[in-house]
């Protein structure tokens, strides 16, 4: 049975009536058709109404659901709902909600509203082209049609390349370019198997379709199995899309990625989005960093995912300073699946499975391979009809459910280890299942040891809004930045957990071959999902500030980011089983705030020459420098007195020596005024633990936009021991309550 949302229609005659979504057990059907059965149910309630409830109107059937769920919608009073509960076959009655049309759900969470601010008509009309380097696209999807779209801009030089099941006609005024890059891939793994993938820009994985629509997909009615229902659309949903397929079934060759970036620059994209990457490496060995540098030299903003190797430290990738490196965090939406143990302990889990309550059934938890529910590890005589407990790891989450189902299991509890903390992925499992955090996992194991007949039930609650958010996702890769300790990475965080976006109908929601279900929209998680959100935001800011550099756009998003959730508490990190504040090593500057970023007050601008001078401070060889600056480039003499930390970055990464008693670091910054004339900013400091901070000057007075002023910050270690794991603070330039230009500070002892 599937959850859904529909519009409340309150009675004019009585405020006592409300529309409810009623779930019924189809196996209890007493008539030949569901329509007749539901009508008979309403008639039964009518009879009870005549006998007991004379204050309310008669119940009214609003709609019968035949596919989304087994049930109906009806206008009922609270007394009539109580009467309904007495009938055989009743499962639940959920009050309907009045919801405004919105995206599902991240742009709304980001504060974007139709017709206002960054989503105003004039801003959305300007042509911005987002290039997506990924696994391709499903061009026929409703998210990419060009109805009502203006002609392709004359500046566009790209093409629609033909290939397997992809022709020039698959491109249109929305999807204006599509290319495939596979030479490097085929050189490494052999020719592409065209029974499993398309040797063209068509997407066989789903990843590229999902990311492209997140950045720039059209507004479209969307849901998955009726969950997360609403109007879905990309962050900059009127942007043009150009697709560069460089990722295939076994990965993405760096050479192909670089070729894709190179071609995108030549084609004329305005923003590049890359939800991919490997382990962090020196910039001169990182082809993404090299290609991205050429892009920013051409005025193209580049966003990349931070990686999914958290919560381990120093795992962040795509760390070049000219790249916007994006971490992942939660929305205020969840998909609850409640687990109740036989001893009445209750735990909140997560699942996209929709169906009737899985009543108390025996639990099974195996040893060794069976504990991880690896293929072939479960014996049918031991698990048939039981709820199987599976430990995360080794195989995919959905694959574990497939193994349990094939062995005859009735359901699955997928439990986290301590390392995975309270992370709750919402997966489209092939059987009744719930993902549970490490706390629940520990309690369940203790319960198994306390009884000879352990049981559990699972109740699927569907879509729930209003959860504490944002929260940092445990999987999101963390700093410190091992390639350059002088740079704080990631830069920002954005929605990346349980994100609904477009999906190829040829690919099942679980990507399992045995799963024959088809969907047009799917839920996915990862920094791959957060990255295109920021790419879309860069496109929005580029529309408003056409003269801003990529660094200016990046600075605006960073210095206006926030670090508190929707209850005004510090953002928490779900990697920990006890409430623990997240740090700049996970969220960088904080969670992006689009509206504030459109008017940041001050920016930290950086030119390509500044980046080259920064590379000079890293003592790169002439051949290394040539990768970025071209042949014949020579580092300026002034760079010999520069420190890497002097790059005009919007955050501060300070490194103290472990054994020194007189750690002092002074860094310089220059801010450009982009706000209203005649303003005076004053500095406000939240000092890192065991560190004193001095800022000179403490006041910055600007007369007109475009004016630049510089300041110095001196960090001094106080007496005492160093802080394990880093010490964190904030430097903020404030003008009244209008501008708060915020810079994260991270101090480490190396």
- Domain extent for 340: 334-464
Identify whether 625 is part of a domain: no
Evaluate if residue 103 carries a pLDDT over 70: no
Evaluate if residue 96 carries a pLDDT over 80: no
- Of residues 683 and 65, the one with the higher pLDDT is 683
Question: What CATH number should be reported for the domain holding residue 90?
Answer: 3.30.70
Q: What is the pTM of this model?
A: 0.86
When pLDDT is averaged across residues 599-614 and rounded to a whole number, the result is 97
- State how far the Cα of 480 lies from the Cα of 81, in Å rounded to an integer: 55
Instruction: List the helix and strand counts (H, then E) for the chain.
Output: 17, 35
- Of residues 85 and 585, the one with the higher pLDDT is 585
Identify whether 4 is part of a domain: no
- State how far the Cα of 15 lies from the Cα of 691, in Å rounded to an integer: 60
Evaluate if residue 98 carries a pLDDT over 60: no
Regarding whether 181 and 79 lie in a shared domain, the answer is no
Q: Which residues, 6+ apart, have CB-to-CB distance to 612 below 8 Å?
A: 625, 628, 629, 633, 635
Identify whether 397 is part of a domain: yes
pLDDT score at 36: 80
pLDDT score at 26: 66
State yes or no: cis peptide before 84, omega within 30 of 0. no
Which of the four pLDDT bands, split at 50, 70 and 90, describes residue 54?
low
261 half-sphere exposure, CB direction, 13 A CA radius:
27
Question: What CATH number should be reported for the domain holding residue 176?
Answer: 3.40.50.200
Q: Where are the beta strands (DSSP E) in 126-280?
A: 129-134, 175-180, 220-224, 227-232, 240-245, 247-248, 251-252, 271-274
**Which single residue is written with the structure tokens 């009744």?**
432
Distance of CA 671 to the CA centre of its chain: 30
Q: What is the pLDDT of residues 152-180, one digit of tens each?
A: 999 999 999 999 999 999 999 999 999 99
- State how far the Cα of 22 lies from the Cα of 6, in Å rounded to an integer: 12
| Boundary residue ending a domain (464, 491, 522) | 464
Beta bridge partners of 411: 387
Regarding whether 324 and 309 lie in a shared domain, the answer is yes
Q: What is the pLDDT of residues 292-322, one digit of tens each?
A: 999 999 999 999 999 999 999 999 999 999 9
Q: What is the DSSP string of 401-430?
A: HHHHHHTT-SEEEEE--GGGTT-------S
Regarding whether 555 and 500 lie in a shared domain, the answer is yes
Regarding whether 152 and 291 lie in a shared domain, the answer is yes
pLDDT score at 545: 96
Share of the chain above pLDDT 70, in %: 92
Token representation of residue 645: 């930390």
Evaluate if residue 6 carries a pLDDT over 50: no
Which of the four pLDDT bands, split at 50, 70 and 90, describes residue 101?
very low
Which of the four pLDDT bands, split at 50, 70 and 90, describes residue 53?
low
Residue of 101, 99, 96 lying closest to 232 (CA atoms): 101
Pure H helices in 126-230: 183-189, 207-216
Q: Print burial letters for 466-489: b (CB count within 10 Å at least 16), e (below 16).
A: eeebbbbbbbbbbbbbbbbbbbbb
When pLDDT is averaged across residues 499-521 and rounded to a whole number, the result is 96
Query: Ramachandran region of residue 84, left (φ > 0), alpha (ψ -120 to 50) or beta?
Result: alpha
Identify whether 640 is part of a domain: no
Q: Which residues, 6+ apart, have CB-to-CB distance to 340 below 8 Å?
A: 346, 347, 360, 456, 457, 459
Beta bridge partners of 522: 501
- State how far the Cα of 656 lies from the Cα of 749, in Å rounded to an integer: 5
Token representation of residue 79: 């007394």
pLDDT score at 587: 98
Regarding whether 356 and 317 lie in a shared domain, the answer is no
Question: What CATH number should be reported for the domain holding residue 398?
Answer: 3.50.30.30
Which of the four pLDDT bands, split at 50, 70 and 90, describes residue 380?
very high
Regarding whether 255 and 139 lie in a shared domain, the answer is yes
Q: What is the pLDDT of residues 216-240, one digit of tens each?
A: 999 999 999 999 999 889 999 999 9
Regarding whether 548 and 414 lie in a shared domain, the answer is no
| Boundary residue ending a domain (594, 620, 635) | 594
- Of residues 267 and 121, the one with the higher pLDDT is 267
Q: Which long-range contacts (CB under 8 A, 24 or more apart) does 641-647 make?
A: 642/613, 642/614, 642/616, 642/617, 643/486, 643/617, 643/667, 644/484, 644/486, 644/487, 644/614, 644/617, 644/618, 645/486, 646/617, 647/321, 647/486, 647/487, 647/606, 647/610, 647/611, 647/614
Identify whether 8 is part of a domain: no
Token representation of residue 47: 């009879």
Say if CB 140 and CB 267 are below 8 A apart. no
Regarding whether 168 and 206 lie in a shared domain, the answer is yes
pLDDT score at 595: 97
The count of other CB atoms within 10 Å of the CB of residue 257 is 24
Three-state secondary structure readout of 537-597: HHHHHHHHCCCCCHHHHHHHHHHCCECECCCCCECEECCCCCCCECCHHHHCCCECCHHHH
Q: Among 359-363, 415-419, 530-534, which is the least confidently predicted range?
A: 415-419
How do the residues of the chain divide into helix, strand and coil, expressed in percent and rounded to 5?
Answer: 25, 30, 45
| Boundary residue ending a domain (95, 119, 144) | 95
Regarding whether 446 and 389 lie in a shared domain, the answer is yes
pLDDT score at 122: 82
Regarding whether 349 and 328 lie in a shared domain, the answer is no
Regarding whether 219 and 277 lie in a shared domain, the answer is yes
pLDDT score at 66: 54
Q: What is the pLDDT of residues 138-154, one digit of tens each?
A: 999 999 999 999 999 99
pLDDT score at 642: 81
pLDDT score at 92: 65
When pLDDT is averaged across residues 88-100 and rounded to a whole number, the result is 57
Q: Which residues are annotated as catalytic? A: 134, 207, 528
Question: What CATH number should be reported for the domain holding residue 721?
Answer: 2.60.40.2310
Say if CB 83 and CB 45 are below 8 A apart. yes
Identify whether 101 is part of a domain: no
Q: What is the pLDDT of residues 447-498, one digit of tens each?
A: 999 999 999 999 999 999 999 999 999 999 999 999 999 999 999 999 999 9
Q: Which residues, 6+ apart, have CB-to-CB distance to 547 below 8 Å?
A: none
Say if CB 714 and CB 665 are below 8 A apart. yes
Identify whether 369 is part of a domain: yes
Count of structural domains, the chain:
4
Pure H helices in 178-253: 183-189, 207-216
- State how far the Cα of 262 lies from the Cα of 309, in Å rounded to an integer: 28
Identify whether 85 is part of a domain: yes
Which of the four pLDDT bands, split at 50, 70 and 90, describes residue 126?
confident
- 373 burial class (0-12, 13-18, 19+ CB within 10 angstroms)? buried
- State how far the Cα of 350 lies from the Cα of 626, in Å rounded to an integer: 50
Q: Among 24-38, 194-208, 247-261, 544-558, which is the least confidently predicted range?
A: 24-38
When pLDDT is averaged across residues 645-665 and rounded to a whole number, the result is 92
Regarding whether 75 and 112 lie in a shared domain, the answer is no
pLDDT score at 69: 43
- The per-residue pLDDT of the chain, averaged, comes to 91
């Amino acid at each position: 049975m599937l959850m859904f949302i529909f519009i409340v229609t309150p009675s004019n005659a009585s405020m006592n009536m409300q529309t409810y979504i009623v779930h019924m057990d189809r196996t209890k059907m007493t008539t030949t058709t569901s329509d007749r059965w539901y009508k008979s149910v309403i008639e039964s309630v009518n009879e009870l109404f005549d006998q007991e409830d004379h204050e309310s109107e008669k119940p009214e059937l609003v709609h019968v659901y035949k596919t989304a769920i087994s049930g109906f919608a009806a206008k009922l009073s609270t007394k009539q709902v109580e009467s309904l509960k007495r009938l055989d076959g009743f499962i639940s009655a959920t009050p309907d909600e009045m919801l405004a049309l919105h995206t599902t759900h991240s742009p709304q969470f980001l504060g974007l509203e139709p017709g206002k601010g960054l989503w105003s008509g004039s801003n959305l009309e300007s042509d911005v082209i987002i290039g997506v380097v990924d696994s391709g696209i499903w061009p026929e999807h409703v998210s990419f049609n060009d109805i009502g779209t203006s002609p392709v801009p004359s500046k566009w030089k790209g093409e629609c390349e033909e290939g397997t099941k992809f022709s020039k006609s698959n491109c249109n005024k929305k999807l204006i370019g599509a290319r495939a890059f596979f030479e490097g891939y085929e050189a490494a793994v052999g020719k592409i198997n065209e029974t499993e993938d398309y040797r063209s820009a068509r997407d066989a994985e789903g990843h590229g379709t999902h990311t492209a629509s997140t950045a720039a997909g059209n507004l479209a009615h969307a849901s998955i199995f009726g969950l997360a229902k609403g109007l879905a659309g990309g962050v900059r949903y009127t942007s043009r899309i150009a697709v560069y397929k460089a990722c295939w079934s076994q990965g993405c060759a760096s050479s192909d990625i670089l070729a894709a970036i190179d071609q995108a620059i030549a084609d004329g994209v305005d923003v590049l989005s890359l939800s991919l990457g490997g382990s962090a490496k020196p910039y001169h060995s990182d082809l993404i960093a090299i290609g991205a540098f050429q892009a920013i030299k051409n005025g193209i903003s580049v966003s990349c995912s931070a990686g999914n190797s958290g919560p381990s430290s120093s795992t962040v990738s795509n760390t070049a300073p000219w790249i916007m490196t994006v971490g992942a965090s939660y929305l205020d939406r969840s998909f609850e699946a409640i687990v109740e143990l036989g001893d009445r302990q209750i735990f909140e889990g997560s699942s996209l499975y929709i169906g009737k309550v899985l009543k108390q059934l025996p639990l099974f938890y195996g040893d060794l391979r069976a504990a991880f529910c690896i293929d072939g590890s479960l014996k049918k005589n031991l698990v048939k009809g039981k709820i199987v407990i599976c430990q995360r790891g080794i195989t995919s989450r959905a694959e574990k459910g497939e193994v349990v189902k094939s062995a005859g299991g009735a359901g699955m509890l997928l439990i986290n280890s301590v390392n995975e903390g309270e992370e709750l992925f919402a997966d489209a499992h092939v059987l009744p299942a719930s993902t549970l955090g490490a706390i629940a996992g520990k309690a369940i194991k203790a319960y198994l040891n306390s009884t000879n007949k352990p049981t559990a039930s699972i109740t699927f609650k569907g879509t729930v809004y209003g959860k504490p958010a944002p929260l940092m996702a445990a999987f999101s890769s963390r700093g410190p930045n091992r390639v350059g300790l002088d740079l704080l990475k990631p830069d920002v965080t954005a929605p990346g957990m349980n994100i609904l976006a477009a999906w190829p109908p040829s690919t099942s929601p679980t990507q399992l071959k045995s799963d024959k279900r088809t969907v047009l929209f799917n839920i996915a998680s990862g920094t791959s999902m957060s990255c295109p959100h920021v790419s879309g935001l860069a496109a929005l800011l580029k529309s408003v500030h056409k003269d801003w550099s990529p660094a200016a756009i990046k600075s605006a998003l960073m210095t206006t980011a926030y670090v508190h959730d929707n209850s005004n508490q510090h953002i928490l990190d779900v990697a920990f089983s006890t409430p623990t504040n997240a740090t700049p090593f996970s969220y960088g500057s904080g969670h992006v705030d689009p509206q504030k970023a459109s008017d940041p007050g001050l920016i930290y601008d950086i030119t390509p020459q500044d980046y080259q001078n920064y590379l000079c401070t890293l003592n790169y060889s002439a051949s290394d420098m040539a990768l970025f600056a071209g042949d014949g480039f020579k580092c300026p003499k002034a760079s010999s007195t520069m420190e890497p930390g002097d790059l005009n970055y919007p955050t501060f990464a300070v490194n103290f020596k472990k054994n020194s008693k007189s750690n002092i670091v002074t860094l310089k910054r220059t801010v450009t005024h982009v706000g209203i004339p005649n303003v005076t900013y004053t500095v406000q400091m939240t000092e890192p633990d065991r560190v004193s901070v001095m800022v000179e000057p403490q006041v910055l007075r600007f007369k007109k936009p475009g004016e630049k002023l510089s300041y110095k910050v001196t960090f001094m270690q106080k007496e005492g021991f160093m802080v394990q794991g880093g010490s964190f603070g904030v430097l903020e330039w404030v003008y009244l309550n209008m501008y708060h230009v915020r810079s994260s500070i991270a101090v480490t002892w190396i």
